[in-house]
Structure 1
Amino acid sequence: MIVVHHLNNSRSQRVLWLLEELGIEYEIKFYERDPKTMLAPESLRQIHPLGKSPVITDANLTIAESGAIIEYLVDHYGNGRLVPASSTPEHLRYTYWLHYAEGSAMPLLLMQLVLNNFGAGDSSVVSGFIAPQIKLHFDYIEGELRKSTWFTGEEFTAADIQMSFPVELIAMVKEEVESRPKLQEFVERIHARPAYKRALERGGKYDLSFQ
C-alpha cells in the first residue's frame, strides 16, 4: 500500500491528486507545519533525512521529490495513463514541463516568498532580478497555454499536475492573472476536475496564502 506522508499546504497535495486521477488505493499520514516557522515537523525526518514533503513509501521504497514521485507512480501504476506515447513531440513536452515546474518556475517564486517573509520584498534583488524573471517566465507560460488546452497538448497529463503548484501560486496574485487569461483558465480547469476535488477532501484544507 502506498503511503503519502502529507504535509498540510504543500506540494504533496499534487501527489494525492495524481493518485486520485489514477484510481490507486493509498493511505495518508498527516503532518502539520509549525504555526510560527511554517516548517515541517521533525517527525518527517524519520521518513526522509531532509524532512521535506512530498515523500511517499511503497513497501520498502521511500521516494521524495515531486517529479520523481510522479514519474514513479505513472511508470509503476499508470498503465499508460497520463503520459503521452514515447518518441512523440508530446512526450518531449511532457518531460520538459515535468522538470520545468521545480527546476525553473518554483525557485523564483520561492526566492520571492523567502525575501518577503524576511522583510526584504522591496529589495533591489527582487525589483532588479526576481520580479522581472517571474514576469518573463509566466508570460512564457501564458504563451504556451495559448497553443493548447494543456501543457503537452489537448490531453491532460501528469505534467499538468506537476505544473499546478507554481501556476496556482502565481494565480493568487490578482494583478498577475489579469493580463494572463489562459493561466487563469488553466487553474479553473484543474479545480473543476473530480479527482482534484477528491484529493482536497482527503488531504484537507489547501491554503497557500500563508506563503
Structure 2
Amino acid sequence: MITLHALQHSRATRILWLLADLGQPCNRVDYDRTDDFRAPDELSKVHPLGKSPVIDDDGEMIAESTTILRYLAAKFDDDTHTPPRGTADYWRHEALFDYVEASFAEVAVRAIMPAFQGNPVPDDAKAALDTNLDYIARAIGDGPMLFGNTAMLADIQMSYIIALLARLGLLADHPKIAAYWDAFQEQPGYIAATRAAGPMAPPA
C-alpha cells in the first residue's frame, strides 16, 4: 500500500483527492505545522527539503504533487482525469496542469503571504494575481471545472491555491473563480479528502 506523508493544510490533500477518486487506500502519515505555519523537522527525515507531499510506493519515494498525481494516474491505468490523448484538449490540460506550480503558485504567494499576515496586498502583486485569475477564468469556459463537470488532474492541482485565495478573501473581484471554488467543494474526491485530513486551507 502507498504511504503518503501529509503535512496539515498542504498540497497533500491533492493526493488524497485523487486516491479517493480512484478508490485506492493509503497509509497516511500526518505532520502538524509549527506555530509559524512551517513544516516540522520530522519531514526532513522523509525528504531532504522537508517537503510534503511525498509518497512511498514499495520503497520508491516520489515528491512534487504534479509528479505524484501523474504517477498515480499511470500506476492505476487511470484515463478519467485527463481529456483523451491526442486531442487539443489533452495538451491544453497538460499545459494548465504544469502552469499551476510553474507559474501560478509564485504569483499567488506574493498576494497570499501579506494577506495571511494581515497586511494589504501590494498593488503589483494584486495586479499580477488578477491577470492570472482572469486567465484561469477564461480556461474554465462554460465550467464548472476546467473541462466540464468532472475534476481533471489540472483541477485537483489548482485546488490548493484556490482554497488559500478563497480563505483570505482574495477572490472577491473574481466571481467566476469563486464559483470554481464552490464547484470544487462539491466534487466527491474533494469531500472525501477533506473529511479524512481536514480543510485544505487553515481555519480563520
Question: TM-score by structure 2 length?
Answer: 0.89
Partner residue of 1:172?
167
Distance 2:90 2:51 in 1: 29
Structure 1: 5+ residue runs without aligned partners? none
Secondary structure of 1:62's match?
strand
Distance 2:167 2:140 in 1: 18
CA change 1:137–1:73 in 2 (3 A) is same
User: Map of 1:1-211 to 2, 5 A cutoff?
Assistant: 1-35=1-35, 37-115=36-114, 121=119, 126-127=122-123, 129-153=124-148, 155-174=150-169, 176-208=170-202
CA change 1:204–1:166 in 2 (3 A) is closer
The alpha-carbon deviation at position 158 of structure 1 amounts to 1.3
The alpha-carbon deviation at position 111 of structure 1 amounts to 2.6
Distance 1:95 1:150 in 2: 15
CA change 1:207–1:177 in 2 (3 A) is closer
Kept in 2: contact 1:91–1:152 (CA 8 A): no
Kept in 1: contact 2:7–2:53 (CA 8 A): yes
Kept in 2: contact 1:171–1:183 (CA 8 A): no
Structure 2: 5+ residue runs without aligned partners? none
Distance 1:130 1:209 in 2: 24
Q: CA RMSD in A?
A: 2.2
Number of residues paired by the alignment? 204
Distance 2:114 2:17 in 1: 30
Q: Give the % identical residues.
A: 29
CA change 1:182–1:173 in 2 (3 A) is same
Kept in 2: contact 1:93–1:152 (CA 8 A): no
* AA of the residue aligned to 1:113: I
